[in-house]
Structure 1
Amino acid sequence: MTDNATPRRPGGRSARVRRAVLDATLDALHAHGMAGLTVADVAARAGVHETSIYRRWGTRENLMVEALLEEAEELLPVPDTGSLRKDLLAYATSLAAYLSSPIGNAFDRALAATGDDPASVRTRDQYWEARYGRSGDIIERAIARGELPADTDPRHAIEMLVAPLHFKVVLTREPLDPKLPEQIVDTLLHGLLADGASPTVRHVREPQ
């Protein structure tokens, strides 16, 4: 190696290839949906060989999940304001904004329309498990602060938060009222979501 040679950055090319493939995957998903995405199309868009994609991700489903989770991390960050209500409101508001956008709206409907074959089920389950795992931190932190009972189920609480938004986008096809996130959050926090024998969120204490 000569003195004026440019040192190689470890992982530099690998990182660029990864970014190109994930961006191409999202472009293909937005264009064709989950059912229409092919590794061949992604490879052509990214300018890489199909074998490179299979070598790194193994399956088409793994590739889709990683791309979708990266997009969610960017567009739907999990807030940490120190207040349960503020965290829930920020998260619900960002989700409503995403689902109201052309890309978010199309993706939500495409995800709901995926089939029940093993590969589609696995992709769907991986995506939602990861998203619920991360957004559930909002509830876990609230439990640690004493804002929620220790036996609160984080996943169930988050499901109750986001379900009305997805319902309107996928099933009733209604526009999302800007006031809806706050209405959902306050209903959830005041225990009005259920009168059953064992509601998940109850006796919510706002921080003093």
Structure 2
Amino acid sequence: MATSGTQRPGGRTERTRQAVLHATLDLLAERGFGELTVEAVAERSGVHKTTVYRRWSSPDGLVAAALQMGAEDDWKAPDTGSLENDLYEVAAEVVRYFTEPALKELPTASVLAAFQSPQAAEALHDFYADRHVRMVPIAERAVARGEIPSGTDGDELVRAVCGPIFYRLFLSRESVTVAEARVSARAVAVAATSGAFVPVPHSED
């Protein structure tokens, strides 16, 4: 998404960008999207509010740009030597990220912001799309090891293993632990072995 102020120039401009977007993330975690203001971000970051308005325009633009920073990290898919354990590591990371007191406020606020702001929703979509690309090797390695059939949809593997976690977190509002991550990973790995995630060609009438 081409949002003003999200490019990565060097020098003072980059320091300003980092200060503003990290302040945005801090305030999003503390207050939620509904209470986020450009003035508060400017005060927290030490950047004049005129500059913040000029580059990011609004809280929507700030949150979208801040969430896009997730694509700048060096995260890689786990490589444990088995499909079940790779999927477990992915699901367990989601559990920890959304439940540990020191971590959970920001990711939870980011998801809620996506329901209130189209720009934030698009940025969150792009973040997870990037994660899906980085997790392609999980399915590829499992196919190479002979664990699952060729043609298995890696994106569907990821959705299937994380879906039950997000259901508990945001719909049924149940407690979630890494034990549920293990159950989900085992179930998806067994289903994948049987070819459940190989797309079925549509028949033409």
Aligned to 2:122: 125
**1:79 and 2:77 matched:** yes
Equivalent in the alignment of 1:186: 186
Evaluate the alpha carbon distance shift between residue 61 and residue 156 of structure 1 in structure 2; reply closer, same or farther with a 3 A threshold.
farther
CA RMSD of aligned residues (A): 3.4
1:66 deviates by 3.1
Q: Cα distance 1:132–1:162, how it changes in 2: closer, same or farther (>3 A)? A: farther
How many residues align structurally? 186
1:7 maps to what in 2?
A: none
Q: Distance in 1 between matches of 2:75 and 2:97?
A: 11
Is this contact kept in 2: 1:168–1:174, CA < 8 A? yes
Which AA in structure 1 matches 2:50? T
Q: Give the match's secondary structure for 1:102.
A: coil
Question: Normalization by structure 1: what TM-score?
Answer: 0.70
Matched ranges for 1:11-90 at <5 A: 11-70=10-69, 77-81=75-79, 83=81, 84-90=83-89
| CA distance, structure 1, for counterparts of residue 17 and residue 159 of structure 2 | 31
1:138 CA displacement: 1.7
Distance in 2 (CA, whole Å) between partners of 1:34 and 1:141 is 34
Identity %: 28
1: CA distance, partners of 2:150 / 2:57? 39
Measure, in 2, the Cα distance between the counterparts of 1:80 and 1:15: 31
Q: Which runs of 5+ in 1 are unaligned?
A: 1-9, 203-208
Structure 1 residues 112 and 126, CA gap change in structure 2 (3 angstroms) = closer
Larger Rg: 1
Q: Provide the C-alpha distance between the structure 2 equivalents of 1:89 and 1:188, rounded to a whole number of angstroms.
A: 10
| Distance in 2 of aligned mates of 1:23 and 1:116 | 21
Q: CA deviation at 1:142?
A: 2.4
**1:175 corresponds to:** 175
8 Å CA contact 2:30, 2:105 repeated in 1? no
